């Protein structure tokens, strides 16, 4: 999740408007899983130098958002300050998947793709909120995001339209 967040936020308008810092933390520290590194490398994202810290109150107090990925983290996450937003995605731990003699990377690829989709959705929601904070509400703008190509790089098409002061909607651009 940290790898996708760093990679996708670098392409986002949020970086131009806010200071964005991304960090991974867990209730336990297991180190970096080689399979996770491998499947992210397939997507052109290098997470080999990332580190997962032990979650503590100080880290949570600095956060605007806490996003938990698995049920264990959601259930045992320390108390979160009232002004910190919490989101839970409830994903299965790919390292715990029983694939027998099958493809050991398959559960990691599934989780990688699910996390990418959720991070993209979260970023789109934050971009919409940032736009809405300029005096508009989320009902005044519509953003449709479509992935046109997802190979060595990803190409997305965004279609945006907004309400007009004189009524009706703008053309889609």
Each residue of 21-55: pLDDT tens digit?
A: 888 877 777 778 899 999 999 999 999 988 877 77
Q: Report d(CA 160, CA 144) in Å as an integer.
A: 7
Each residue of 141-171: pLDDT tens digit?
A: 888 888 899 888 888 898 989 888 778 889 9
How high is the pLDDT of residue 61? 84
The pTM for the full model equals 0.73
Alpha carbon of residue 129 to chain centroid: 16
Each residue of 83-130: pLDDT tens digit?
A: 888 888 989 889 888 888 889 999 999 999 999 999 999 998 888 777
Q: Report d(CA 8, CA 133) in Å as an integer.
A: 22
How high is the pLDDT of residue 132? 63
Structure tokens at 104: 């050991």
3 state DSSP class of 26: strand
Model confidence at 59: pLDDT above 70: yes
């Amino acid at each position: 999740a940290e790898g996708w967040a760093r990679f996708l936020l670098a392409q986002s308008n949020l970086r131009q408007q806010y200071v964005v810092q991304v960090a991974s933390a867990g209730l336990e520290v297991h180190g970096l899983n080689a399979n996770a590194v491998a499947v992210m490398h397939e997507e052109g994202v290098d997470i080999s130098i990332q580190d997962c810290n032990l979650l503590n109150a100080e880290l949570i107090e600095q956060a605007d958002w806490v996003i938990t990925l698995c049920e264990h983290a959601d259930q045992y996450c320390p108390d979160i300050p009232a002004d910190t937003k919490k989101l839970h995605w409830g994903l299965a731990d790919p390292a715990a998947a029983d694939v027998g003699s099958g493809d050991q990377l398959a559960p990691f690829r599934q989780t990688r793709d699910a996390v990418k989709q959720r991070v993209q959705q979260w970023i789109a929601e934050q971009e919409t909120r940032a736009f809405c904070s300029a005096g508009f509400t989320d009902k005044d703008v519509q953003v449709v995001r479509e992935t046109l190509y997802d190979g060595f790089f990803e190409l997305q098409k965004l279609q945006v339209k907004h309400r007009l002061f004189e009524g009706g909607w703008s053309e889609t651009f």
